[in-house]
Homo-oligomer: A and B are copies of this chain.
Amino acid sequence: MANLMTDLASRAAEIMTRVRATKPLVHHITNFVVMNETANITLCAGALPVMAHARQEVEEMAGAAHALVLNLGTLWPEQVDAMLVAGRRANVRGIPIVLDPVGAGATRFRTESAQRLLEQLAVSIIRGNFAELATLAGHEATIRGVESVGTSGDPTAVAIACARKFRCVAALTGRTDIVSDGFRVARIANGHELMGRVTGTGCMSTSVTAAYAAVEADSVVAAASALAAFGLAGEIAAQGAPGPGTFHVHLYDALAQMTEEVLRAAARIEVAG
């Protein structure tokens, strides 16, 4: 297992470099709160972001992309329709779809929209917090707005259940991140509590995950690598940051400037199961 851990940290470093070398295009259909921030973190990951949500162009844009992010943060009906159109094109082309079911559980519209996307599309990775994934898996959860509160359940069980139910990889972020395809389980211990004090860090982790999934076919490895790199960027950004504003700025710097050596040495990915 120590061996596997070493391997995953090395693979994370190798994937980070591959993203930077190939600059995959990550098409986002996403929320209005984090459009700028997720575009910037995608650039910092070494990929190219493009945001496009009009029904008139999403199919064509998804047709040029290397990964597709569907993020429900400020969804409205026409946007969900556009997600389905883009998603079908992504599925036909075989590029990964990463779903961020922001606020699933908070309103029926969000829960049902996430379910509709999961029914009609082959999603590669669902990235969400405990409450969002628990809701989708059919477990009990409490969500306040888009914030998971009262995490009494077992995140690993939720991730496994969610992955098996939707036949995809579940990436459940929290104090420890859990990534599972329903059989294999990886736990990522990188991250910093300041990440919870900046809006959209969850959405950012989704974008980095999509950038990594664009170049790595094993979605468990791609998601675990992305969460390790992003979490480590958070740890580095927190050093000497007097508050969430400065931390937020340093987060971009830290991901953009991360070296393979640093990631290989500090990625804390543990394989279980």
Interface residues of A (CB under 8 A from B): 23, 25, 27, 31-37, 39-40, 43-44, 48-54, 56-57, 60-61, 64-65, 73-77, 103, 106-110, 144-147, 197-200, 241-246, 248-254, 256-257
Contacts and interface: CB of A to CB of B under 8 A. Distances in A.
Contacts of A74: 35, 51-54
B106 A44 contact: no
Classify the secondary structure of A's interface with B. Answer: mixed
Contacts of A242: 253, 257
A65 B145 contact: yes
Contact of A106 (B50, B107, B252, B253): B50
A33 B44 CA distance: 16
A212 to B, nearest CB: 17
A221 to B, nearest CB: 25
A36 B37 CA distance: 8
A175 to B, nearest CB: 17
Between A52, A60, A145, the greatest number of chain B beta carbons within 10 A of the residue's beta carbon is seen for A145
Nearest to A59: B107
A243 B37 CA distance: 15
Contacts of A52: 74, 103, 107
A131 to B, nearest CB: 12
Given A53-B76, A60-B108, A77-B56, A145 B25 contact: yes
Contact of A250 (B34, B61, B110, B245): B245
B57 A107 contact: yes
Contacts of A23: 144
Contacts of A40: 198-199, 244-245, 248
Contacts of A144: 23, 25, 48, 64
B198 A109 contact: no
A23 B77 CA distance: 30
Contacts of A32: 32, 35, 51
B109 A39 contact: no
Contact of A35 (B33, B44, B106, B241): B33
Contacts of A57: 107-110
A43 to B, nearest CB: 6
Contacts of A60: 106-109
Given A48-B145, A52-B103, 11 more contacts: A34-B36, A44-B245, A51-B73, A53-B74, A54-B76, A60-B106, A243-B254, A243-B256, A244-B253, A245-B248, A245-B253
A102 to B, nearest CB: 10
B43 A107 contact: no
